[in-house]
């Protein structure tokens, strides 16, 4: 039986809303965990993209795209959350590698 990953709880918390992501950032300050950091960056990216697109679509009056936006968000969120549960560090499709580059301030 393998040893449990100490950053798994922090990684899971990161996916629970953007507030959970902020809590996970503080949880990972000391001691730092690379697994948790990876998933915090992924979750932060998912939440940020969703909120930016939701605000932009609202201001542009394109309300009919809200359902595809929610589906896109749920698919990315589910993928990332399952990766954290299974203790894997595979980036999200398309955007995951960018999230790792863009959010280097999350350490």
Is the overall model pTM greater than 0.85, yes or no? yes
Residue pLDDT, tens place only, 48-85: 999 999 999 989 988 888 899 999 999 999 999 999 99
Q: Which residue has the tokens 């932009």?
A: 56
| Residue pair 39/15 in contact by the 8 Å Cβ criterion | yes
Reported for 95-104, long-range contacts at CB under 8 A and 24+ positions apart, including other chains, are 95/45, 95/49, 96/42, 96/45, 98/45, 99/41, 99/42, 99/44, 99/45, 99/46, 100/38, 100/41, 100/42, 102/45, 103/41, 103/44, 103/45
């Amino acid at each position: 039986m393998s040893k449990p990953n100490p950053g798994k709880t922090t990684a899971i918390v990161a996916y629970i809303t953007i507030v959970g992501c902020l809590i996970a950032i503080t949880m990972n300050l000391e001691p730092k965990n690379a697994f948790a950091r990876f998933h915090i960056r992924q979750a932060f990216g998912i939440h940020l993209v969703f909120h930016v697109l939701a605000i932009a679509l609202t201001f542009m009056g394109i309300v009919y795209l809200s359902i595809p936006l929610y589906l896109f968000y749920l698919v990315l969120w589910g993928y990332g959350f399952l990766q954290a549960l299974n203790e894997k560090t595979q980036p999200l499709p398309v955007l995951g590698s960018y999230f790792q580059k863009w959010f280097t301030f999350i350490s």
